[in-house]
Each structure stands twice: as structure tokens, then as C-alpha cells.
């Protein structure tokens, strides 16, 4: 049986902010993240962008300026597919991966800490 504290994190709200040029995500634990379009497009996890069978190195994401998010499509209960103005549409962002991209100070500090 899964306890509430071990429940997977899922977006409670996901919306596009044209004003901020960002995807806004509020998570089931209340965490808020705003992911700029250029950063998110640069973080695309598809095979064409990152290479086959390679993990995305978050510290080496290169933003792709000038793109905007055209559409987002839920992929079951685990991910979202993002469709971009540059006609790119093959990136499926799992919720775990999307959460790992957070740029808030708290998440950046956690990322910089060495693993135990």
C-alpha cells in the first residue's frame, strides 16, 4: 500500500504564461515552478535532441531562444508531450523529469549538493 508521503508527484495545475513566456506548474506537494520556454525546449528529452539512450545532463542544457509553446498533450498519468513553434513535437517530458528541471533557488541548491 502506498502512503501519502510516497505518492508520486503529479501536476495539480499546468498552464502556459504568455506574459512570462513560461510553463507554470504547481505540483501535488504545493511546489511552484516556472519553466521558461527557451530553457524547456533546450531540455527536450527526445532521442533526436539528446541522442539515443542518453540521459539528459541538466547542467548542460542549452536554451533555444525564440520558440514558444504551441500545445501540450497529457500522456497518460505520467508525462506531457510539448509541441513547439519550431515544429518540434517528439519530446515527452515525464513528470519526474519536468520536476527535476525546476529553476527555483531551493531546487538549484538541492541539485548542487553532493549525493550521499
What pLDDT sits at residue 3?
Answer: 43
Give the residue-averaged pLDDT of 36-65: 91
Q: Chain-centre distance of CA 108, in angstroms?
A: 14
Note down the domain range covering 93.
39-112
Residue 26 is assigned to a structural domain of this protein: no
Residue 33 is assigned to a structural domain of this protein: no
Q: Is the pLDDT of residue 18 over 70?
A: yes
What pLDDT sits at residue 56?
Answer: 84
Residue 6: band (very low, low, confident or very high) from pLDDT cuts 50, 70, 90? low
Instruction: Say which CATH number the domain at 79 has.
Output: 3.30.2020.30
The string of pLDDT tens digits covering residues 55-65 is 888 889 999 99
Nearest alpha carbon to residue 84 among 10, 13, 14, 23: 23
Q: Is the pLDDT of residue 2 over 50?
A: no
Give the separation between CA 91 and CA 37, rounded to whole angstroms.
13
Residue 16 is assigned to a structural domain of this protein: no
* 41, 88 contact by CB (below 8 A): yes
Domain count, the chain: 1
SS3 (DSSP) at 101: coil
Amino acid at each position: 500500500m502506498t502512503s501519502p508521503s510516497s505518492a508520486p508527484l503529479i501536476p495539480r495545475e499546468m498552464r502556459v504564461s504568455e506574459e512570462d513566456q513560461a510553463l507554470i506548474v504547481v505540483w501535488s506537494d504545493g511546489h511552484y515552478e516556472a519553466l521558461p520556454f527557451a530553457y524547456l525546449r533546450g531540455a527536450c528529452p527526445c532521442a533526436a535532441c539528446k541522442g539515443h539512450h542518453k540521459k539528459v545532463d541538466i547542467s548542460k542544457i542549452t536554451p533555444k531562444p525564440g520558440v514558444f509553446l504551441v500545445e501540450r498533450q497529457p500522456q497518460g498519468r505520467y508525462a506531457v508531450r510539448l509541441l513547439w513553434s519550431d515544429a518540434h513535437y517528439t519530446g515527452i517530458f515525464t513528470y519526474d523529469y519536468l520536476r527535476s528541471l525546476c529553476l527555483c533557488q531551493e531546487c538549484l541548491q538541492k541539485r548542487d549538493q553532493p549525493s550521499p
